[in-house]
Every structure is written in structure tokens, then in C-alpha cells.
């Protein structure tokens, strides 16, 4: 069977393609002149943060707490650590330690100017293009295990109904006592696996993590009550052997990923309210009330469900939960459709007198990005604003400059998504090349003037149906034969070999 796209060789330089994609979308992935000298000066100061008079005077010493971090198995830029304790009144006090990147990266420096221009690290699957040099983001500004670090600590209490109170933020000295990973911790918390080695030999750490999990479940329940959306998009990660990408694995949500997500949403809310209370301008991360709510209502109607005429995140989430239970295979595609109809998130300037635009998808009114300063520039800005407040110093940024930064961050985040999407397609094309001729289960995800598109279920990849597409519509199930891949263009072509009758709800 012939394809309209030519098959590419299995060998393809994905790293070079990623670099070219970065340039094409307006990034400057190579650090500018002056970086090496500035970096060398920073790294030449080998004294621990506690040796700094500024740190000793302005920071609480929290190095003895049993801090831990949970992140991806391969993460090297550790932005946060966590600790919790149960209070006598039943509340759980949570501390989130955030790497003090501003302590090392001076405003107006070459490194800061580059970070302000790029605004974000970009994760392409085969190479990370960091906002800050790895010597910083994976080194002395990363909250690495058994290393003393300067941090900003965001503290709050969570009651049994998930209500957050007593929020505050301050500077501190910290030490990460255990670097952990989502998959292992999640399996253990859910009873699907043994405790990770560091947890298995440390009862205090095990107790600490279970307390953190309890706090996170309280927070999650409260947000769902207020209409937070349970959206589930499929995210895959390449499996690399030597220099070759050989397979794709699906990244699964679990109790550990939920723990960190809930802690960060709450921490970012504390920061936003701190700025509100101090009546200072800041940058917020917002997802506005969907402008295309009518299309979301229409989408639900097509699935036999009724949504209110006016935007209602709680009603939307109840619809999503029902569809997830009824049709789990197709739920990621429904989630993606809803996300697109809600519109992308954006960074905006919020002045002291402005109403907070809120975050529709998270069901929170106060939200700023402040917990990932190694990889996001708005978080560095938030640190500088907080430090000025703590020191009773003038605001470090004029409102016009904050607005310019917010607009730049929105633009570059959109560009980063395009780079990452292009690379996901190219990586999938490389991985599937040896499997040309095999048949895959799939779901139709799009039908437009350009063609009919499907997503295979194992592995999760997107491609075009170049044969047998007549009469198919979004949501139809099928089996399709892979007939060609083109990594350079990210093309994957299939031919339908069997369409599952619409009366059937299973591909098994």
C-alpha cells in the first residue's frame, strides 16, 4: 500500500532537529557571550549560603527538618522540597521550600537578561534547553540531596475540609534529605509497590510522606468541590538506549504527582494573596472563563449530557468525571478538546486595584507562578518581589516592565508548546519506523480539510489516516496498519483495516 508521504530512514538526528526547531520558534538556545565569565564568577564562590551575612540575618535555619523532593525519575533541576507536621487542632502545616535562584542570578546580569528573553526551559524529549545553564539549574540553584541551599519557604495550614489558612512566605536555609521520584512513591502510596529504598529504611520519612499525602488529598477534595477540572491528557516519554530513542512510555498520574500538584497550587495561592495583602503589582498565571463555553455545551450535548448556559466549572467537571468512567480510552481526547476550548493559560500584570482574573481550570481565584524558578522566569520575578517585601525595600519592577515580562512569558510559553509538540511527532516517527506494517488500535481524533487523524492507544501517538478514512468521524474506533513514517516532518501514516461498529464501546 502506497503512502502520499515518503518513509524516512530510521536514523535521524533528533537533537539537531530540536535545536533547529528552537531557533525557528524564536528561542536562542545557545547562551550568549559573557555567560562563561559570569558563570565562572558565580561558581568560584564555593562557600555555603550560611556563610553569607545576608543569609544569616534574613533567613530562618530550617536545615534540620526532614525535607524531601518528589519529581520525575530523570529530573535534575529540583525546584521544590516539602515538609509537613500535624497540629493539635487537626490541621496539617505544610512547608514548601523553593530554590532561591535570585540569590545566585543577579538582576540585570547576562544570565538574568538571557532568562528574561527565553522565559522558560524547553523539554524536547531528547534534550533539555534550559533557561539557566545546567551548572546553576542542575547544580548550585537546584535543591539537590544533602546540599545546603538558600530558599524561599511558603507555609500554610490545611484543615480537614481542605481549606488553606495562615499562609506566609519567608527566606530560609534548607537541606533536601531525600530526592525521590513520582513513579516509586506513587506506587507505594497507592499500595501497588514496595516503599522506595530511602523510604523503606526510614520510618520517619515514611510517616512524613503519608502525612503529606493526607494533606494533598484534603486539598484535592476541596478544589474538586469548588469545580477544579479533572482533565487527563496523554503524555509520553521517550525511552533512550545509548544515543537512540527506542520506545515510548506513557507518563501516568498517581498519588505522588497529585501530592506535588496540590502543594504547588496551594503555595502559589499563598504567594498571590501575599502580594494582594501588600498591595503590590505582580504577574499572575490565569486561565480566563472560557469564551467558547457554547461549544463546550455543544460538545457535551453530543455525548448526551446537558451543561448550564453560563460557564460553570463544577458542572463541567461532573460531566468530565462521568465521561471518564464511561469511556476511559477516549477521555484524553475529550480532555484535550475541552482544554483547547477553554483557551491557553497566559501571564498577566495584576495591579493592586485590579480584580483577580483567576484560574478557571484550577478553580482558584489567586494564582501566580512562583514554585519553579530554575525553569520559569515569572517565578524568579515573584521571588524578587517577595524579597523586596520582606526587606521593606522598593518594588523591584515598574508596572510597565512587569506587563512586558508577562507578555513575553506568554509568547514564549506558546512557542515552547509548539517546539515540544513538533518533537513529540518526530520522536514517535523514529520509534515507529521499525514497526511499519504492524496493526494498531486507535481512535479518530480529528476530521478536517487536511485529512482524518487518529491516535493509537499503545503506544499513544498521533498520525494521519491516508487510506480507509471515508465515513469516519471523531471518536470512532478502529484498527489501522502503519504504512510509513517521516521523522523530518513528523508524519506518521496509517491505513484503516477494521472499523469497530459504533454500537461497541470496547476495542478488546
Give the chain's mean pLDDT. Answer: 88
**pLDDT recorded at residue 18:** 96
Tens-digit pLDDT profile for residues 157-202: 999 999 999 999 999 999 999 999 999 999 999 999 999 999 999 9
Largest CA distance in the chain: 73
Rounded average pLDDT over 56-78:
94
**Of 471 and 480, the one with more pLDDT:** 480
**Of 314 and 226, the one with more pLDDT:** 314
Single pTM value for the model: 0.86
| pLDDT(470) > 60 | yes
Tens-digit pLDDT profile for residues 88-97: 999 999 999 9
Sorted by sequence, the CB contacts under 8 Å of residue 404 that are 6+ apart come out as none
Q: Confidence class of residue 1 from pLDDT cuts 50, 70 and 90?
A: very low
Tens-digit pLDDT profile for residues 57-66: 999 999 999 9
**pLDDT recorded at residue 503:** 52
Cell of 456: 493509537
Cell of 53: 551575612
| Measured distance CA(384)–CA(378) in Å, rounded | 10
Rounded average pLDDT over 58-86:
95
Cell of 482: 502503519
Beta strands at 491-499 and 462-467: parallel, antiparallel or unpaired:
parallel
- 396 to 57, 107, 117, 305: CA distances (angstroms): 21, 9, 18, 50
- 497 to 464, 481, 482, 483: CA distances (angstroms): 14, 7, 10, 12
**pLDDT recorded at residue 441:** 92
- 207 to 199, 202, 257, 474: CA distances (angstroms): 9, 9, 18, 47
- 133 to 105, 114, 141, 212: CA distances (angstroms): 11, 10, 10, 32
CB-based burial of residue 446 (10 Å sphere; 0-12 exposed, 13-18 middle, 19+ buried)?
A: middle
Rounded average pLDDT over 107-134:
96
| pLDDT(350) > 50 | yes
Sorted by sequence, the CB contacts under 8 Å of residue 117 that are 6+ apart come out as 28, 408
| pLDDT(152) > 90 | yes
| pLDDT(358) > 90 | no
**pLDDT recorded at residue 166:** 96
Say what percent of the chain tops pLDDT 90.
64
Beta strands at 122-123 and 92-99: parallel, antiparallel or unpaired:
unpaired
Q: Confidence class of residue 239 from pLDDT cuts 50, 70 and 90?
A: confident
**pLDDT recorded at residue 38:** 97
The domain limits of the chain are 1-30+417-508, 45-283+367-397, 293-343
Say what percent of the chain tops pLDDT 70.
89
Phi (first) and psi of residue 477, to 5 degrees:
-100, 150
**pLDDT recorded at residue 8:** 40
**pLDDT recorded at residue 7:** 41
Identify each DSSP E strand in 421-473 by its residue range: 439-448, 451-456, 462-467
Tens-digit pLDDT profile for residues 426-448: 999 999 999 999 999 988 878 88
CATH 2.40.50.140 corresponds to the domain 1-30+417-508? yes
Q: Confidence class of residue 229 from pLDDT cuts 50, 70 and 90?
A: low
Q: Confidence class of residue 506 from pLDDT cuts 50, 70 and 90?
A: very low
Residue by residue, DSSP assigns 95-152 as: EEEEE-GGGTS-TTSHHHHHHHHH-B-EE-SS-EE-SS-HHIIIIITS--BT-EEEEE
**pLDDT recorded at residue 302:** 79
Amino acid at each position: 500500500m502506497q503512502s502520499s508521504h515518503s518513509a524516512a530512514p530510521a536514523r535521524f538526528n533528533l537533537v539537531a532537529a530540536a535545536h533547529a526547531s528552537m531557533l525557528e520558534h524564536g528561542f536562542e538556545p545557545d547562551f550568549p557571550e559573557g555567560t562563561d565569565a559570569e558563570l565562572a564568577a558565580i561558581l568560584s564562590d564555593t562557600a555555603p549560603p550560611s556563610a553569607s551575612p545576608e543569609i544569616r540575618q534574613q533567613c530562618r535555619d530550617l536545615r534540620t527538618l526532614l525535607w524531601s523532593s518528589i519529581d520525575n525519575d530523570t529530573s535534575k533541576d529540583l525546584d521544590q522540597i516539602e515538609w509537613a507536621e500535624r497540629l493539635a487542632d487537626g490541621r496539617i502545616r505544610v512547608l514548601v521550600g523553593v530554590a532561591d535562584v535570585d540569590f545566585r542570578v543577579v538582576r540585570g546580569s547576562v544570565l538574568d537578561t538571557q532568562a528574561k528573553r527565553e522565559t522558560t526551559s524547553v523539554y524536547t524529549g531528547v534534550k533539555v534547553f534550559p533557561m539557566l545553564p545546567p551548572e546553576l539549574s542542575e547544580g548550585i540553584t537546584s535543591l539537590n540531596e544533602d546540599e545546603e541551599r538558600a530558599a524561599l519557604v511558603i507555609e500554610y495550614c490545611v484543615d480537614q475540609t481542605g481549606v488553606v489558612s495562615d499562609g506566609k512566605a519567608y527566606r530560609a536555609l534548607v537541606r533536601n534529605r531525600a530526592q525521590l521520584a513520582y513513579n516509586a512513591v506513587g506506587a507505594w502510596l497507592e499500595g501497588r509497590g514496595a516503599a522506595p529504598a530511602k523510604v523503606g529504611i526510614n520510618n520517619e520519612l515514611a510517616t512524613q510522606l503519608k502525612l503529606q499525602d493526607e494533606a494533598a488529598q484534603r486539598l484535592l477534595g476541596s478544589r474538586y468541590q469548588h469545580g477544579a477540572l479533572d482533565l487527563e491528557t496523554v503524555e509520553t516519554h521517550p525511552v533512550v538506549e545509548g544515543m537512540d530513542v527506542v520506545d515510548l512510555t506513557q507518563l501516568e498520574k498517581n498519588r505522588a504527582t497529585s501530592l506535588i500538584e496540590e502543594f504547588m497550587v496551594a503555595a502559589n495561592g499563598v504567594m498571590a494573596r501575599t502580594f494582594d495583602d501588600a498591595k503590590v503589582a505582580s504577574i499572575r498565571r490565569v486561565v480566563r472563563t472560557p469564551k467558547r463555553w457554547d461549544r463546550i455545551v455543544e460538545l457535551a450535548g453530543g455525548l448526551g449530557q446537558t451543561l448550564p448556559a453560563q460557564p460553570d466549572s463544577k458542572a463541567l467537571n461532573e460531566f468530565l468525571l462521568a465521561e471518564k468512567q464511561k469511556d476511559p480510552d477516549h477521555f484524553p481526547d475529550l480532555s484535550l478538546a475541552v482544554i483547547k476550548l477553554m483557551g491557553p493559560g497566559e501571564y498577566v500584570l495584576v495591579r493592586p486595584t485590579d480584580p483577580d482574573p483567576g484560574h478557571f481550570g484550577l478553580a482558584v481565584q489567586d494564582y501566580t507562578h512562583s514554585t519553579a524558578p530554575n525553569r520559569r522566569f515569572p517565578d524568579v520575578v515573584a521571588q524578587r518581589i517577595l524579597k523586596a517585601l520582606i526587606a521593606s525595600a522598593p518594588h523591584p519592577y515598574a508596572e510597565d516592565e512587569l506587563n512586558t515580562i508577562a507578555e513575553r512569558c506568554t509568547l514564549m510559553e506558546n512557542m515552547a508548546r509548539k517546539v515540544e509538540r513538533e518533537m513529540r511527532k518526530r520522536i514517535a516517527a523514529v520509534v515507529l519506523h521499525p514497526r511499519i506494517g504492524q496493526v494498531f488500535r486507535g481512535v479518530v481524533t480529528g476530521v478536517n480539510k487536511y485529512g482524518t487523524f487518529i491516535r493509537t492507544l499503545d503506544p499513544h501517538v498521533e498520525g494521519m489516516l491516508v487510506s480507509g478514512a471515508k465515513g469516519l468521524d471523531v471518536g470512532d474506533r478502529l484498527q489501522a496498519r502503519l504504512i510509513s513514517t517521516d521523522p523530518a516532518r513528523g508524519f506518521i501514516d496509517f491505513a484503516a483495516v477494521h472499523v469497530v461498529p459504533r454500537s461497541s464501546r470496547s476495542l478488546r
